Amino acid sequence: MATVLNARLNQVIAVGGEPRSAFFNGRMLSAEDLTREQAARDDAEARLARLVGCGVAEGLTVTGGTGSVLHISAGLGVTPSGAVIDIGNLDLDLSSAGRGASFSGFGNCAAGLAEGQPLAGLYLLTLTPAWSGQGRAATLLGEVGACNRRTQQPAVRARLVEVQPPAGLGAASVRNELAVALLSPGQGLAAAPEGGRVGWWMRQRVGSSAAVPGLTADELPLALLQIDAAARPLWIDTDSARRRLAAPPGGAGDAMWPESWAVEMQAFAAQFVAELMGAKANAAAFVWLPPTLPLTAAQLAKLRAVVPGVPGTAEVLNRSRFARALIEGWDGAPVRRQGAALYLARLEGQPERLLLRAGTGAGGPGDGMGTGGGERTSAKVASAAARVLAAGRQPRAGGPSKDELAAAASALTQAPDRKNR
């Protein structure tokens, strides 16, 4: 949008947005005039939709059917561009699809639009809004060709976006590593450029052989899946592809970035649990751990059987401390399982409410977790603060400054053995 110079009070200043047609008695109307009115309405609705974020609001769950058929449940979603996708139950046959052009690591397939079928491999399933012409309209000029449509019905187009992971990626860990790459560029397979956006529709280069998919702003990802040569799904991961309705992913400096990041870490945790509870789960499948992982007792038992190093006992936290540990955990990044420091907590009075935190620091993720993290000081920091204050009572050259003493006093007021302020 161009900068307006020398604007005055009460001056009408043109801004961005789709123009609308001006109607008055005696004016001749053309198709272009009415189409402009439709475009203005669509543009206004898209701006309004973007205010609530993008992602899946409800439904749109992808499950396997018979053979090459996928079932997409009825639901509602919003694309990053602000287009609303609202569909009923849909059965999608992958055995008839057109294979589109490819670009360094990824190619697009428009499912169901041409003869043929996608090749065996890994794909993102997405929905894109479209319009479907219905009927023929009466005209003054007689037949006007293929553009004659009485109405245009809202429609969707299902696409498969091919995913080619880097060479050498283990078959056992592909689901885990791709979930990290799709939900957390900057960790795992993907390296986000400085100032680059995080999220699942931006294209990201990975070395010389692969990339995170570059989806358009009109696409709503629903599932990551692997299909065989007959287009039959071998496995389907919904959580690594979709996200609940939230602010669009952005750069780390964006005001809404923390909310978006938390949503994607929640999606990674859900994907991790779904794969963990599968029949083929083993230690080799899990290269990465979510920064925080809510668990039930049954899921914890399965985790201990599959992933070594899970603590044998859990620290019991009251409701406020447990909630704080969970919420603050979503700010973290995925952690490589090898060498990760693990901390286990349980909600007081509810043995089914468990929380695993993963970190890389020497103090481990539990350092301050049970005491509320952000507002309470860990025992290690509190001990250091006490030493600084003790040194301040014995004035000497090179002792702590006033600022250091003030910081130490503030830290000590939030020590683990004190109540929250």
In this predicted structure, which of 61-65, 71-75, 133-137, 182-186 has the lowest mean pLDDT?
182-186
Output the pLDDT for position 43. Answer: 79
Sequence-ordered strand ranges (E) for 216-301: 220-227, 233-237, 288-289, 292-295
Task: Specify whether 216 is located in the same domain as 348.
Answer: no
Whole domain around residue 242: which residue ranges?
Answer: 53-132+151-282
In this predicted structure, which of 34-48, 99-113, 147-161, 249-263 has the lowest mean pLDDT?
99-113
Domain count, the chain: 3
Q: Which residue has the higher pLDDT, 33 or 410?
A: 33
Per the CB < 8 A criterion, the answer to whether 295 and 273 are in contact is: yes
The predicted model gives 28-43 an average pLDDT of 81
The predicted model gives 194-209 an average pLDDT of 44
Task: Specify whether 248 is located in the same domain as 172.
Answer: yes
Confidence band of 188 (pLDDT split at 50, 70, 90) = very low
The predicted model gives 216-225 an average pLDDT of 87
DSSP per-residue codes, 80-100: TTS-EEEE--EEEETTSEEEE
Given a cut of 90, is residue 289 above it in pLDDT?
yes
156: Cα separation from own chain's centroid: 21
On whether residue 191 sits in a domain, the answer given is yes
Q: Which residue has the higher pLDDT, 190 or 131?
A: 131
Confidence band of 34 (pLDDT split at 50, 70, 90) = confident
Output the pLDDT for position 156. Answer: 86
pLDDT in tens, 336-360: 888 889 999 999 999 899 999 998 7
How many Cβ atoms are within 10 Å of 67's Cβ, its own excluded? 12
On whether residue 22 sits in a domain, the answer given is no
Task: Specify whether 249 is located in the same domain as 396.
Answer: no
Output the pLDDT for position 319. Answer: 92
- Looking at residue 124, what DSSP letter applies? E
Q: CA-to-CA distance for 323 and 348, rounded, in angstroms?
A: 11
Question: pLDDT averaged over the chain?
Answer: 75
On whether residue 46 sits in a domain, the answer given is no
Task: Specify whether 368 is located in the same domain as 308.
Answer: yes
Given a cut of 60, is residue 419 above it in pLDDT?
no
The predicted model gives 368-372 an average pLDDT of 45
Task: Specify whether 220 is located in the same domain as 255.
Answer: yes
Domain end, chosen from 282, 315, 339, is at 282
Task: Specify whether 370 is located in the same domain as 390.
Answer: no
Q: How much of the chain exceeds pLDDT 70, in percent?
A: 67
Sequence-ordered strand ranges (E) for 165-323: 204-206, 210-212, 220-227, 233-237, 288-289, 292-295, 315-317
Confidence band of 206 (pLDDT split at 50, 70, 90) = very low
Task: Specify whether 209 is located in the same domain as 90.
Answer: yes
- Looking at residue 176, what DSSP letter applies? H
Given a cut of 80, is residue 364 above it in pLDDT?
no
**3-class DSSP state for residue 341?**
strand
Task: Specify whether 79 is located in the same domain as 224.
Answer: yes
The predicted model gives 26-33 an average pLDDT of 81
Task: Specify whether 321 is located in the same domain as 409.
Answer: no
Task: Specify whether 240 is located in the same domain as 176.
Answer: yes
Output the pLDDT for position 9. Answer: 77
On whether residue 1 sits in a domain, the answer given is no
Q: Which residue has the higher pLDDT, 114 or 365?
A: 365
Output the pLDDT for position 185. Answer: 54
Task: Specify whether 118 is located in the same domain as 196.
Answer: yes
On whether residue 385 sits in a domain, the answer given is yes
Nearest one of 233, 87, 210 to 160, comparing CA atoms: 233
Per the CB < 8 A criterion, the answer to whether 106 and 162 are in contact is: yes
Given a cut of 90, is residue 292 above it in pLDDT?
yes
On whether residue 38 sits in a domain, the answer given is no
Confidence band of 49 (pLDDT split at 50, 70, 90) = confident
Domain end, chosen from 248, 282, 316, is at 282
Nearest one of 302, 310, 297 to 279, comparing CA atoms: 302
Q: CA-to-CA distance for 98 and 119, rounded, in angstroms?
A: 10
Buried b (16+ CB within 10 A) or exposed e, 260-275: bbbbbbbbbbbbbbbb
The pTM for the full model equals 0.71
In this predicted structure, which of 98-112, 205-219, 259-273 has the lowest mean pLDDT?
98-112
Domain end, chosen from 239, 260, 282, is at 282
On whether residue 187 sits in a domain, the answer given is yes
Task: Specify whether 323 is located in the same domain as 380.
Answer: no
Between strands 341-347 and 350-359, the pairing is: antiparallel
On whether residue 140 sits in a domain, the answer given is no
